[in-house]
Chains A and B, each alone.
Chain A
């Protein structure tokens, strides 16, 4: 399944590729001081991109892990750097925290002989819709028809930020518009209504598939939401510390629930990160 926009490469693609090989790519993640799996998707995508040889070097930096946003500049030797936030939405982190910590002043910042391009976060890329659909379908048993299944895209949500649900409601609208035959497609949240804990009353189909719109299988996606869904009685050990990732499906009377891994762990996210660089060059680069 092709997940990225297949627009033909612009003329001069060859020279663009050559130019990127002289640039660094910096992937920004949240990280965690409590969960060992939070930063892993960023590292995995960085490794995939580094092996492709498309950039001079590929780095990661984190809010809650090392290297931190404040430590990263001495590690990068290229003079031109593309920064891609591996974050799910535009909001507090991408608009306030990341620019402040990296001392960025706009789409492009020139300082100390360096040019730094600040790209859009991965979560707003159009390919995310296709990835969510792919994730939902691949964990359903072959005997389960999408027509008998409700798809819930679950996010964090917070009453502290009115924009916190925008990224997810946009994805839900896009999936509905795609014509995929799910019985229903709806959004739900950990900390604001509609609550994911109410999935049994939010849906009435025999089967429900829940896809977490999170970057990693860390604290929220792997440990908190399963408790809210009722498939765990209390937060388990971190995903990497358990032998079995998930035992789908989970049965609740006559109904079955499928719970997928976080969307950000999909290997295709490496392509999405690179595509955000291309999008930057096409739309923001002066």
Chain B
């Protein structure tokens, strides 16, 4: 099934889903709507955003005008709504807000996309990140606690080591999961910072 087909099937007419900070709705006529969760009760007064590029621009900054390099940070601003008739276009708009998150979930749930351990991610780095893999497991847990858990809405599905046990993510009723299958650039950068601090402390 295509990704658009998967979205249609997960969101039948007359239903809604929570997706990160979004409320996704399929109206009785089959059309799609998305708005911020906080705005779900005032949909008629929201500013319509009619395209993926416009939504990408909206998702670029938080309510205070600060740049959002991580699109799954819990800082999506509200006050808008986007509506369209076609699932493929709706998916394009969701990807403008949460790039690739839906496709990642579909591939993971189907067993076609597998998490990459933190060690594997860090150990393949080169250039300015070549020492990121020198962090201890304790530092890795601190990174997860202080960066990932606080700053990102995704559920981590990767272990620290390849052979560490990790719970498989599942979809709660009424939600579309937002999973992380590999540490992102911000996490790799944070590992580099921790490694540098450790070296400086050891000098």
Contacts and interface: CB of A to CB of B under 8 A. Distances in A.
Contact of A34 (B56, B67, B127): B67
Contacts of B2: 77
29 contacts: A33-B70, A33-B185, A34-B67, A36-B60, A43-B53, A43-B56, A47-B53, A64-B69, A66-B100, A67-B95, A68-B185, A70-B181, A70-B182, A71-B181, A71-B182, A73-B113, A74-B100, A74-B103, A74-B106, A74-B112, A74-B113, A75-B3, A75-B95, A75-B100, A77-B2, A77-B3, A97-B127, A100-B124, A112-B112
Contacts of A65: 69, 185
Nearest to B68: A36
A158 B2 CA distance: 45
Contacts, number: 67
Contacts of B104: 71, 74
Given A66-B71, A96-B126, A74 B185 contact: no
Q: Which 7 A-B pairs have the closest CB atoms?
A: A74-B107, A67-B100, A33-B69, A67-B99, A74-B103, A66-B99, A71-B100
Interface residues of B, number: 31
A268 interface: no
A31 to B, nearest CB: 8
A68 B184 contact: yes
Counting chain B CB atoms within 10 Å of each CB, the highest count among A36, A63, A241 belongs to A36
B100 A33 contact: no
Contacts of A43: 53, 56
B116 interface: yes
Main secondary structure of the interface of B (DSSP, over half): loop
B155 interface: no
A32 interface: yes
Judged by DSSP, the binding face of A is: loop
Contacts of A73: 107, 113
A71 B106 CA distance: 12
B10 interface: no
A246 to B, nearest CB: 21
Interface of A: 32-36, 43, 47, 63-68, 70-75, 77, 92, 96-97, 100, 112, 238, 241
A68 B187 CA distance: 13
A72 B99 CA distance: 9
A226 to B, nearest CB: 19
A71 B126 contact: no
Contacts of B61: 36
A55 to B, nearest CB: 14
Contacts of B186: 33
Given A36-B61, A73-B107, A74-B100, 4 more contacts: A66-B99, A74-B113, A77-B2, A100-B126
B9 interface: no
A71 B112 contact: no
A70 B124 CA distance: 13
Contacts of A92: 127
Contact of A64 (B65, B181, B185): B185
A96 B53 CA distance: 31
A75 B88 CA distance: 12
B53 to A, nearest CB: 6
A74 B99 CA distance: 11
Contacts of A96: 126
Contacts of B184: 66, 68
Interface string B39-83: 000000000000001001000110001010111100000000000
Which one of A74, A75, A77, A97 has the greatest number of beta carbons of chain B within 10 Å?
A74
B189 interface: yes
A77 B5 CA distance: 12
B134 to A, nearest CB: 19
B103 A32 contact: no
A219 to B, nearest CB: 12
Contacts of A67: 95, 99-100
B185 to A, nearest CB: 5
Given A47-B53, A92-B127, A71 B99 contact: yes
B99 A36 contact: no
Interface string B168-203: 000000000000011011100100000000000000
Interface in B3-60: 3, 53, 56, 60
A169 B186 CA distance: 34
A68 B53 CA distance: 18
